[in-house]
Chain A
């Protein structure tokens, strides 16, 4: 579904991604872990071109989205993204946050978008917050609304960029539960996270990145119980 070929990204002279070749199939839940500065967030942000790759190709379905002339906005409608800092729109109510993009882009009428938004809010048990503004919500509520805001576009794949890193510990669970239930429904997901338990439980595949490359990948069981690369062994020994 998503394929990267020799993906490279440099900020100035700093080579953050150093040739990533990876394929993510439909229905996979790929968790990317690695030390900070390893390029995992940059990798994720390249997938929907929030960062423009310096070199290499990214294919989404049968389209090379790094080609000139590709309508990236169309592509992004199919790729939901969830940010570490939530990035809800503070000047819009929760309902407007969710319905803005679908109505603005002509995908749904106002009524359809509202209906969809209320369904999604019901799913996370926050229907009574529909008219509240984001500043009235807890971190966990914000992030769950950010997730359903992305879901309202009916994306084919969801990208999560450290979705629980800015949360109070007691709110991490509610967000991870929502993500796990998405995974159960068969959503294709790419998740950058430090939540190893989540990786073990939900991932179909775990990638370990270091210095701009994917140095090891495996099923979660093998990945955590039987790491092969010395850098990964060192990393796991520090965090587990």
Chain B
């Protein structure tokens, strides 16, 4: 009885030690030298890159999708080819390769801003995926909608903007949300071009504390929170659109 009690208390002590170690390593990863500020700074960079990349991705995506659909409708082979080259090259090569190429070749000037490079690169990358999503959305709209718009005397662009795209966007919202989630997570690749984003900040802290795991877990949790927040926003938008009008 006495013996087994010692065994019991030994376990308890070792669990307490382990918990204390765990607490200390997370404490070290966050508090000393105001390390939490480094995460926040990194988080800010990640959010900035993601935000501008999403904006750029949407602009490129809408443009390429509309151009591609238009080119198909009006049988402009060369324009279709240009769009396809862009989409195929971007989708067919690794993001990290694109990032390094853009970093090393296009923005060669010394004082170029890594955040801008990141946003441009991820925007161009995301544009290809968004373009294909939007194209599918446009093509899901009944032909009669375009004909009705045109028969009223509106031109192709007006009909596209006022009639086709609003309906298309509504259909593709889940797919778009998915693409944005992927994009936000992929911005972690930006750490290879010396951008101090969330992941890079975590790595720096890990190299200071000689304990890499806690910072990585913290960074992972930050991504998780961002993505869950975005999912939430997207589903609110979806629900509002569904409630407000047709169907």
Contacts and interface: CB of A to CB of B under 8 A. Distances in A.
Contacts of A90: 167, 245-247
Contacts of A6: none
A101 B170 contact: no
Interface in A116-157: 133-135, 146, 149-150, 153
A169 to B, nearest CB: 22
A72 B158 CA distance: 14
Contact of B150 (A50, A85, A133): A50
A238 interface: no
Interface in B50-76: none
A150 B147 contact: no
Interface residues of B, number: 21
A87 B153 contact: no
B178 interface: no
Contact of A50 (B145, B151, B170): B151
Contacts of B79: none
A217 interface: no
A21 to B, nearest CB: 24
A28 to B, nearest CB: 20
Contacts of B149: 89, 101
A153 B153 contact: yes
Interface residues of A, number: 29
A50 B147 contact: yes
A93 to B, nearest CB: 8
Contact of B246 (A73, A85, A91): A91
Contacts of A93: 245
A153 B166 CA distance: 23
A105 B150 CA distance: 12
A175 interface: no
Interface string A152-165: 01000000000000
Interface in A50-94: 50, 73-77, 79-81, 83, 85, 87-91, 93
B152 A133 contact: no
B154 A105 contact: yes
B148 to A, nearest CB: 4
A91 B170 contact: yes
Given A90-B246, A100-B162, A83 B148 contact: yes
B154 A89 contact: no
A50 B151 CA distance: 7
Contacts of B155: 73
Interface in A187-203: none
A90 to B, nearest CB: 4
B5 interface: no
Interface in B139-185: 142, 144-145, 147-155, 158, 162-163, 166-167, 170
A157 to B, nearest CB: 12
Given A85-B144, A87-B145, A104-B158, A76 B245 contact: no
B150 to A, nearest CB: 7
B163 A89 contact: yes
A91 B144 contact: no
Interface in B88-147: 142, 144-145, 147
A48 interface: yes
Contacts of A87: 142, 144-145, 147-148
Nearest to A96: B162
Contact of B162 (A104, A133, A153): A104
29 contacts: A50-B150, A73-B155, A76-B150, A76-B151, A77-B153, A81-B148, A81-B151, A83-B144, A83-B147, A83-B148, A85-B144, A87-B145, A87-B147, A87-B148, A89-B145, A89-B149, A90-B167, A90-B246, A91-B163, A91-B167, A93-B245, A100-B162, A101-B152, A101-B154, A104-B154, A105-B153, A105-B154, A135-B246, A149-B152
